[in-house]
Amino acid sequence: MINPDRLALEFQTLLQIESPSKKEGKLAYYIADIFKALGYRCFFDRSSENTGSEVGNLIVKIPGTLPSNPIFFCAHLDTVGPCENPKIIFDKGIYRSDGKTILGADDKSGIAILIEIAKVLKENILNHPPIEFIFTTCEEIGLFGAKYLDLSLIDAKEGFVLDSENPTEIINTAPSSYHFKIEIKGKSAHAGIEPEKGINAIQILSKVLADLPLGRIDEETTMNVGIINGGNYVNIVPDYASAKGEMRSHKEEKLINLQKAIQNQLDKVISLYPKIEEGIPSGKVKFEKIFKAFKIPLDDPLCKLVQKARERLGLNITFKRKEGGSDANVFNEYGLKCLILGTGMQKVHTTEEFIRLKDLIIAANFVLEIIKTKGEMG
């Protein structure tokens, strides 16, 4: 029932619409018009008041043909950069950009699939539950659209996020993530005339970072420092330095231990320096939770639904753990149980991003089969 040519044409159209984070308006209104033309009710929430996007999250309601519990599907509207004036190349069944921009398959492949699904459901008499599509903003800069989603507008309590690579891999486990910022306060002085009167904040920070466990801590935990700032002139002892990083793990207690390790290391290094005046030198660290881990057991009804749909299509699928975050982390934390489905996109967040049309078609058929199977299972 999936129309491959129509799916491909819609996908190509979506790729031409620029939608960087916070500037998703043009794309959002374009797809809203499609759903309205199909006769489906759609509306925006007020999340833009918090995210700073041009629009809120777009929600589409598709009535069911059966008295069944509703189910949702989600794709995000925004892309990373560079995305200006994309030139799309389709060759030998593969979509790419010209190498100057990202392609945008993340996540316009998911959007294209859901548009095609909506058209199929309009054209065919199928038994299916009520369906809700959620198109979020600002996913790429912190999952903000999902975090500020108006849950009162969502009836479904379970569903799927279309935001992964291989269409035959189902993500049922993802980690928690925290960002952290370490700040050091030293004292400035002329570096040539009286350096002994200063306290070098960069030196202190370097000693703090030197003994932190970075990289892969174990099979389910990582930590990274990605940004360092400090100083303004080479002839002045810097009185301020900072570092920003992140940590991820599938076990919350391991992240708590890493936070303690950072704080202990900071306190230890600061204690090595004599206080030359009140609060100097000093250091502080702040932690911010970005998303929370989730794990959907394989015996959960949602996983069984996927397995049943897989059997009907004859697909070989696997359930996998993912190390990245997505809207699914937020939804699961909010009580909206969901799995992550792949759409075929590859090398995302790079100018080498690509997607095979055959994988996009497989993903679309899989989503449709999940809907049909859900209709039969109730």
- Note the pLDDT of residue 362: 97
What pLDDT, in 10s, does the model give residues 210-250?
999 999 999 999 999 999 999 999 999 999 999 999 999 99
With CA atoms as reference, report the closest residue to 75 among 118, 121, 129. 118
Question: Residue 377 pLDDT more than 80?
Answer: no
Q: Please give the average per-residue pLDDT across 128-153, as a whole number.
A: 97
Catalytic-role residue among 10, 24, 139, 158: 139
pLDDT digits (tens, 9 = 90+) for 247-262: 999 999 999 999 999 9
Q: Which fold has domain 176-291?
A: Alpha-Beta Plaits (3.30.70)
Confidence of residue 133 (pLDDT cuts 50, 70, 90): very high
**pLDDT over threshold 70, residue 378:** no
| pLDDT per residue as tens digits for the range 274-303 | 888 888 999 999 999 999 999 999 999 999
The CATH architecture that domain 4-174+293-377 belongs to is 3-Layer(aba) Sandwich (3.40)
Q: Please report where in the chains the tokens 């316009």 appear, as a residue.
A: 108
Average pLDDT, the chain: 96
Percent of the chain scoring above 90 in pLDDT: 96
Give CA–CA dist 3/207, Å, rounded.
60
pLDDT at 68: 87
3-state SS track over 196-208: HHCECHHHHHHHH
pLDDT at 60: 98
Tell me: the pLDDT tens digits for 321-341?
999 899 999 999 999 999 999
Question: pLDDT tens, 8-51?
Answer: 999 999 999 999 999 999 999 999 999 999 999 999 999 999 99
Strand locations in the chain, DSSP E?
A: 41-44, 58-62, 71-76, 88-91, 94-97, 131-136, 158-164, 169-174, 176-185, 215-218, 221-230, 240-249, 282-291, 294-295, 318-321, 337-342, 345-346, 354-356
Residue 139 known to be catalytic: yes
Pairing of strands 169-174, 318-321: parallel
Q: Give the per-residue pLDDT at 376.
A: 82
Which tops the pLDDT comparison, 25 or 376?
25
In this prediction, residue 15 carries a pLDDT of: 98
3-state helix, strand, coil in the chain (%, to 5): 35, 30, 35
Domain segments of the chain: what residues? 4-174+293-377, 176-291
pTM of the model: 0.92
